[in-house]
Structure 1
Amino acid sequence: MTATGGRVKGGGEPAAWGRRTPLAAVLAANSVSAAGTALSMIGIPWFVLQTTGSAGRAGVVAFCATLPIIVSAVIGGPVIDRIGRRRVSIASDLVCAAAVGAIPLLDHAGVLEFWMLCALVAVNGLVHTPGKTARFVLLPDLTSHAGTTLPRAASLFDAVERGARMAGAALAGLLIALADATGALLADAATFGLSALLIAAGLRGIRAAEPVEDTAPVSLRTYGTELRAGYAFLLRTRLLLAVVLMVMVTNGIDQGWSAVLLPVHAERDLGGATVLGLLTAVSGAGGLLGALLYGVIGHRYSRHAVFAVCMLLCGAPRFATAGLSDSTAALAVVMAGAGLASGALNPILTTVIYERVPLDLRSRVSGALTAGCELTMPLGGLTAGLLVEGAGVRTALLLMGGAYLLATLSPFVFPVWRGLNDVGSPGGTDRVSDSAPGGPVDSPLSGPLSSPEPARRAPAT
């Protein structure tokens, strides 16, 4: 299946610029959204610390922000297909703009209560994930439409997102220093609005972005059948299940790092929000460089070897450095290296997942993957807040870093991870029988793409 739309030359082929416009629109919208995510990732914890002074409350807000993500990921796949990916993305951005923008406005009016803050971040978390998933699952169709390859597009998608995060983190530190945390949140609301405009304009007339025409009428039975099809595929594909189990752990710990541990460490020991923004930007710069390097030379090396080593380097070292030292320079160097290592992770998983997930299950499996990978994120932020309150930030950093290290050893230990090196059609015990719900799902994506791409979600870094 290929996307349609774009201007046409005399021979009937879309003009080059017209073929590439939808992909460019999604890349641009995703980069704007990623920059906004970086703004809120720093702005919301800092806002809580500024207004309450409590690491525990920062953990509660992180819990409220991430728990709805899992709910929307669990049930969202069939909804995205029926409503249409373009509509879901636009609606998601508009609702998120209203929810995030309401926080500084209510605070300025002097009526913002803590429960209101929790409710607004919960709405943002509930609605943001379907929009992000809708954009992500369009990538193979738009890649084919643009005449490029999926591995190249996957690296570009990840590199652009990481570059935007880097810029957003630096901007967040600057805005907080100049106008406190509310400035960062207002800027985040603006990015959602811009993302909605880009998708509305760039995906008009694209068949793959519209509602799926042959879906069964909505009912609990058909909805449940479609959900089961996505989860059945995930549970029977051992490599994808291994990915979910490991990333489930690391994403939860990463949420504790970004929502509580690093902001508290920056506030108490490193010099404040400007340093926090700088460190996050440095990590993003490393991730951008890593993604670009992998896109250029990554195909020369074993996927399994690269993934295993990079996963080991991107996690535990930064926790250990932050827990054992107050040196901003040392932490910046380690975070840059961790970012560099993390740059290869999402392109690898993106390519492998799209190689294994058939077209008709893409939205459903993507939702199942997102739900599984993000299952522990609410507990990660909450646990980090409680550990800081009870044992101190250094002990919390070392304990959670140790858990991260154990999780990232699994690609070295379990043979299933060698399946990362398999290219093309899944084989062996990873093949799913034709009796799985939803029909045959044992072939990779077909069509002009020589090496298809993924359904999200890879490690949060």
Structure 2
Amino acid sequence: MSAPAAPPVRRPRLALGGLAVAHTMAQAGNTITIFATPFYVRAIGGSATDVGLATTAATLPVVLGGPLTGVLVDRIGYRRSSIAADVVSGLTVLAIAVLGSTDHLPLWGLLALLVASGLFDTPGQTARTVLLPSLARSSDVPLERAVGLVSGAERTAMLAAAPLGGVLVALVGPAQAFFVDAAFFAVSALLVTALVPRTVPAADHEGDQAQEAEEAEEEDGAGYWRQLADGARFVLTTPLLRNIALVVLVLNAFDTARLTVLLPLYALQELGGATAAGLISGALAGGSVAGAALFSAWGHRLPRRTLFVGAFVLTGGPLSAAFALGAQTIPLVAVAVATGLAAGMLNPLIGTLRLELAPQRMLARVQTLMVSIAWVGMPVGSLLAGVAADALDLRLLYAVIGVAYVLVALAPLTGGSWRQLSARRPTSPH
């Protein structure tokens, strides 16, 4: 027997806006965590390899914990999962701030706390993302526009938090910067508590409501591992989802290597320190905000396959070339703005595809599995970049990454299931 229909959301656009702002706050905390971590490792005498280890500790929990938490998010509920995850993530970064500020946080302790924070941060981000189809439908907003709004909110957080992270590291120290993280996570939890209703009607897919209801009823009695396996099977047997995840896996490894590990090292070696790295990261975020805004406004009209390939090429090629040529802060900032513009349109496109292709009953599972597959390359990229930077020239590393990035970005031109990128599934009004 199917569950009774959920009551309509009151003031749905306020709920959608509140969710976007909460996502912004959580992402701001994550940005400062990622930005401050390499400088904390350096401050306690760590090597480039140690920087890679710390960055790996921040990303590995997404790969390991993401799939395991997806089933729990589907079961517990999206709103509750978001709030609980923000509270726990805030407490872990607060521990980093307190222990680091009092010189009681060695490298192994930092790694442990970063792993704990990442494990709980993943279900929070997932829960906020999978609330979008329902809130978009209730608000009479195209899904592309809602995803673009939240993606733009993420980029806005990076725009503000990356330079803020640079300033905080330079003025008060990397350990003290983690106090700001805790505040951002607290605000995110409060916003979701206050503005997102406890019950949100499901955003059913047109034409498949009966099948969804039947499959959901069959799954009600299934155990945790069965539900997890069902989600994995769906992702791995859906060619377009699988191919997107694999391409993003490789390119995320390159992005993590060049922007999370190599950028701080390049800034220390070539640009004078953390402030320049913060400016470049902020320029990337600024371009991304504009790109997400463009996608939010016109994404439902743009040719998806062309956008997918072109945005990835522009994201990976020009900035890597600029670093390889030894560019200084001002030209790097200019190229970073253009790079962010491309990435800002790409991310909501991928997010929209993930939400469109997933059944309502397993939205969180599909989301976490897709993200986890895509993030598998991140810890590998971080670790290899740290080791390589101890042995090779930074400019050479950027050149190699740039060439490889563009070659992988051209994969959708090979045809096959990539042709389905142009198809749209009507999960929300247009």
Residues paired across the two proteins, number: 414
Contact persistence 1:2–1:142 (CA under 8 A) = no
Counterparts of 2:170 and 2:354 in 1: how far apart (Å)?
A: 41
Contact persistence 1:137–1:362 (CA under 8 A) = yes
Query: RMSD of the TM alignment (CA)?
Result: 2.2
Q: TM-score, normalised by structure 1?
A: 0.85
Aligned match of 2:176: 183
Aligned match of 1:450: 429
Counterparts of 1:412 and 1:183 in 2: how far apart (Å)?
A: 47
Matches within 5 A, 1:2-401: 4=7, 14=10, 18-207=11-200, 216=220, 222-401=223-402
How far the C-alpha of 1:278 sits from its partner, in A, is 0.7
Contact persistence 1:20–1:146 (CA under 8 A) = yes
Contact persistence 1:270–1:326 (CA under 8 A) = no
How far the C-alpha of 1:225 sits from its partner, in A, is 1.6
1:246 maps to amino acid: V
* Change over 3 Å in CA distance of 1:377–1:272 after alignment to 2: same
Contact persistence 1:316–1:402 (CA under 8 A) = yes
1:159 maps to amino acid: G
* Change over 3 Å in CA distance of 1:300–1:130 after alignment to 2: closer
How far the C-alpha of 1:242 sits from its partner, in A, is 0.9
Q: TM-score, normalised by structure 2?
A: 0.91
How far the C-alpha of 1:53 sits from its partner, in A, is 4.5
SS, match of residue 59 in structure 1: helix
Counterparts of 2:6 and 2:384 in 1: how far apart (Å)?
A: 44
How far the C-alpha of 1:2 sits from its partner, in A, is 7.9
Contact persistence 2:326–2:395 (CA under 8 A) = no
SS, match of residue 206 in structure 1: coil
How far the C-alpha of 1:193 sits from its partner, in A, is 1.0
SS, match of residue 450 in structure 1: coil
What is the identity percentage for the equivalent residue pairs of Structure 1 and Structure 2?
35
* Change over 3 Å in CA distance of 1:254–1:3 after alignment to 2: farther
Contact persistence 1:3–1:145 (CA under 8 A) = no
Aligned match of 2:419: 418
Counterparts of 1:252 and 1:150 in 2: how far apart (Å)?
A: 28
Counterparts of 1:131 and 1:297 in 2: how far apart (Å)?
A: 28
How far the C-alpha of 1:324 sits from its partner, in A, is 1.8
How far the C-alpha of 1:418 sits from its partner, in A, is 2.1
SS, match of residue 343 in structure 1: helix
Counterparts of 1:4 and 1:44 in 2: how far apart (Å)?
A: 44
Give per-residue Cα distances to partners, 1:367-395, cap 9 Å, x unaligned.
21111111111111111100001213223
SS, match of residue 287 in structure 2: helix
2:400 maps to amino acid: L
Counterparts of 1:386 and 1:347 in 2: how far apart (Å)?
A: 32
Give per-residue Cα distances to partners, 1:252-302, cap 9 Å, x unaligned.
221222321001101111121111111111111111111112233344431
Counterparts of 1:320 and 1:80 in 2: how far apart (Å)?
A: 41
Aligned match of 2:208: none
Contact persistence 2:34–2:55 (CA under 8 A) = no
Unaligned runs of 5+ in 1: 7-13, 425-443, 452-461
Counterparts of 1:297 and 1:97 in 2: how far apart (Å)?
A: 36
Counterparts of 1:229 and 1:80 in 2: how far apart (Å)?
A: 15
Counterparts of 2:24 and 2:407 in 1: how far apart (Å)?
A: 32
Give per-residue Cα distances to partners, 1:21-66, cap 9 Å, x unaligned.
2212211100111111221121111211222241110001111221
How far the C-alpha of 1:3 sits from its partner, in A, is 6.1
Counterparts of 1:191 and 1:407 in 2: how far apart (Å)?
A: 36
* Change over 3 Å in CA distance of 1:96–1:208 after alignment to 2: farther
How far the C-alpha of 1:94 sits from its partner, in A, is 1.2
Contact persistence 1:3–1:142 (CA under 8 A) = no
Contact persistence 1:2–1:144 (CA under 8 A) = no
Contact persistence 2:158–2:285 (CA under 8 A) = yes
* Change over 3 Å in CA distance of 1:123–1:81 after alignment to 2: same
184-193 or 393-402, which deviates more: 393-402
Give per-residue Cα distances to partners, 1:413-432, cap 9 Å, x unaligned.
344322111122xxxxxxxx
Counterparts of 1:246 and 1:263 in 2: how far apart (Å)?
A: 25
SS, match of residue 147 in structure 1: coil
How far the C-alpha of 1:317 sits from its partner, in A, is 2.0
Counterparts of 1:269 and 1:68 in 2: how far apart (Å)?
A: 32
Counterparts of 1:155 and 1:167 in 2: how far apart (Å)?
A: 18
* Change over 3 Å in CA distance of 1:295–1:87 after alignment to 2: closer
* Change over 3 Å in CA distance of 1:370–1:300 after alignment to 2: closer
Counterparts of 2:417 and 2:343 in 1: how far apart (Å)?
A: 21
Unaligned runs of 5+ in 2: 203-215
